[in-house]
Amino acid sequence: MGGLAYSLSLFLLLTIIPHLAKREMRVLLLSSLWMVCMGFKPVYAQQLKESEKTITLFDGKTLNGWKPLNPADAKYWQAKDSLIIGGDGISNVPQNTYLQTTDEYGDFEFRCLFRLSGDAATGFINSGIQYRSKVAGNDIVGYQADIGDGHWGDIYDEHRRGLLLPGDLRIAWRILKRGGWNSYIVRVQGNRHELYINGVKTCDYVETDTTVPVKGVIAFQLHGGGAAKIEIRDVTITTFD
């Protein structure tokens, strides 16, 4: 540990921490201090470089730039109250439905806030973010950043190879808000795929199959088999040239 870090640690131990009123705050500061001393570095989402430009993919009012994969599924998707909304949490969705971008993307960092809700008694409550995906009729084939109990933070290969890598929730689970608002970051560059929930990395996957497409649409999935509702906001993408 460097001299500055040591001096700061000593200052905290002797002056500030003993006088904190709340036990929880003392524990938090002592835990942080221990991580500094041990050189522990949690893996959080990287900050973008100033030179990288971010594009808003949802204007908060319309679904311009988006379309249902199956035109018959337009009834499941709407823009309302600055949100993209899939399903209503009341009516059962008989089969998977997707809202896809009209453009394709290759290397990028995608960000959004999301909230998944629904009654598990009605069936499977699940959603996901498709990326580098290709349309095949009324189906979509490609990577998915999974959302929902039993699958949080997984990388799933929709309609192709299935589960590629389960999400590591050892840290993310502590700050995951089931039924509440969470953030998702999908960062993909070359053959490396990284997923973050609430800023904490859940997956770091390296693709070894060179036949898999490296460019495709982004889409929100609402899984069939239950009365689920997915709400999304603050949707942005930064492309890497």
The stretches of the chain forming alpha helices (DSSP H) are 3-11, 23-38
Mean pLDDT within 95-99: 96
Chain centroid to CA 209: how far? 23
Beta bridge partners of 162: 157
d(CA 114, CA 146): 12
The confidence band for 46, taking pLDDT boundaries of 50, 70 and 90, is low
Q: What local confidence, expressed as pLDDT, does residue 47 receive? A: 59
Range of the domain at 13: 3-38
Q: Among residues of the chain, what percentage have pLDDT more than 70? A: 78
Better-scored residue on pLDDT, 188 or 139:
188
Instruction: Confirm whether 44 is domain-assigned.
Output: no
Instruction: Confirm whether 178 is domain-assigned.
Output: yes
- The answer to whether residues 33 and 58 belong to one domain is no
Instruction: Confirm whether 15 is domain-assigned.
Output: yes
Beta bridge partners of 99: 68, 220
Contacts of 115 (CB under 8 A, 6+ apart): 179, 180, 181, 182, 230, 231
- The answer to whether residues 60 and 22 belong to one domain is no
- Strands 54-56 and 228-239 come out as antiparallel
Question: Can you read off the two tokens belonging to residue 220?
Answer: 């929100």
d(CA 105, CA 65): 13
Question: Can you read off the two tokens belonging to residue 39?
Answer: 């050189």
- The answer to whether residues 150 and 203 belong to one domain is yes
d(CA 9, CA 29): 10
Mean pLDDT within 79-107: 96
Is residue 126 classed as helix, strand or coil in its secondary structure? coil
**Closest by Cα among 183, 193, 213, 51 to 108:** 193
Q: What local confidence, expressed as pLDDT, does residue 5 receive? A: 46
Instruction: Confirm whether 48 is domain-assigned.
Output: no
Instruction: Confirm whether 109 is domain-assigned.
Output: yes
Instruction: Confirm whether 43 is domain-assigned.
Output: no
The Cα-based distances of 9 to 19, 22, 127, 170 in angstroms read 15, 19, 44, 27
Better-scored residue on pLDDT, 66 or 22:
66
pLDDT tens track for 7-45: 444 444 444 444 544 444 443 344 444 444 444 444 555
Q: What local confidence, expressed as pLDDT, does residue 53 receive? A: 85
What CATH number is attached to the domain comprising 160? 2.60.120.560
Q: What local confidence, expressed as pLDDT, does residue 45 receive? A: 56
- The answer to whether residues 27 and 122 belong to one domain is no
Q: How many structural domains compose the chain? A: 2
pLDDT tens track for 146-179: 999 999 999 999 999 999 999 999 999 999 999 9
Better-scored residue on pLDDT, 28 or 220:
220
- The answer to whether residues 135 and 33 belong to one domain is no
Question: Can you read off the two tokens belonging to residue 232?
Answer: 């999304």
**Closest by Cα among 181, 184, 179 to 197:** 184
Q: What is the rounded (10 degree) CA torsion for 18, 24, 27, 28?
A: -110
Instruction: Confirm whether 64 is domain-assigned.
Output: yes
- The answer to whether residues 23 and 83 belong to one domain is no
Better-scored residue on pLDDT, 138 or 193:
193
Predicted model pTM = 0.79
Q: Compute the mean pLDDT over every residue in the chain, rounded to the nearest whole number.
A: 85
